[in-house]
Amino acid sequence: MINNEQLNALVKRAREATPKRKFTQSAELTLVLKDIDVKKGFSLNETVVLPNPTKKGATLCVLGAGDMGMRAKRAGVETVMEPETLDRLGSNKRDARKIVRSHDFFLADASLMSSVGRSLGQFLGPKGKMPTPLPYGAPIENIASRLRSSTRIRSKNQLNMSTKIGDETLTDDQLVANANAVISAIEKKLPQGDKNLRNTVIKFTMGKAIKMNSLNKQSKSENT
């Protein structure tokens, strides 16, 4: 079980190992798993609400028109894509990949899901970004607000997974709280909970990856 003191030390050391740059650097959490047979189709794709989101937050795309599209724009959704644009992307792989890369979460009018599958499915599927279908009258404003404060962490047939937990503008305590939220969510999905965690790693964009196991070994060495 990883405690707050250990996570705080990990974040602090990762920040110290990061050179200053003229842009805001992201903080990434990587979880390394153990004792799981990936050959049996192991996969996780979790959306976790962070207690301390960044000022920018996650980027959203709503696939829909009419009332749904208008409400999505009022909710501040970065991209609202109408059916005609969606159809054009089906024959433009370059633009389709760009759309998928530049958005964290997708929402779609339930009636458009078959079109989404034909046009963007081959790009969204492998990234674990298939849209959440929205029925008529769905509370887009509330859904958008929740997703903007969320992060996605996924693993498919592998024993490690990474996700953004904030950026360097957040305090150490805020990053620790975000990391805890992700770790807690993943532990609940693992066969043996925290016993399936081999290592925890924190890294800022231009910094060195700091591993919990290495930090613990160093701490023991200093105390002997």
Where does residue 133 rank: exposed (0-12), middle (13-18), buried (19+ CB within 10 A)?
A: middle
Average pLDDT over the chain, rounded to an integer: 91
Where does residue 91 rank: exposed (0-12), middle (13-18), buried (19+ CB within 10 A)?
A: exposed
Average pLDDT over residues 33-47: 90
From the list 79, 108, 113, the residue with the least C-alpha distance to 95 is 79
Phi, psi of 107 (to 5 degrees): -125, 145
pLDDT in tens, 81-135: 988 888 888 788 899 999 999 999 999 999 999 989 988 999 999 999 999 999 9
All structural domains of the chain with their residue ranges: 4-55+151-223, 60-147
Class in CATH terms, 4-55+151-223: alpha beta
pLDDT in tens, 145-157: 999 999 999 988 8
Topology alike, domains 4-55+151-223 and 60-147: no
The pLDDT score that the predictor gives to residue 56 is 87
pLDDT in tens, 55-66: 889 999 999 988
The pLDDT score that the predictor gives to residue 219 is 55
Class in CATH terms, 60-147: alpha beta
- 201, 30 contact by CB (below 8 A): yes
Rounded to two decimals, the pTM is 0.88
- Tell me the pLDDT band of 77, cut-offs 50, 70 and 90: very high
- Tell me the pLDDT band of 188, cut-offs 50, 70 and 90: very high
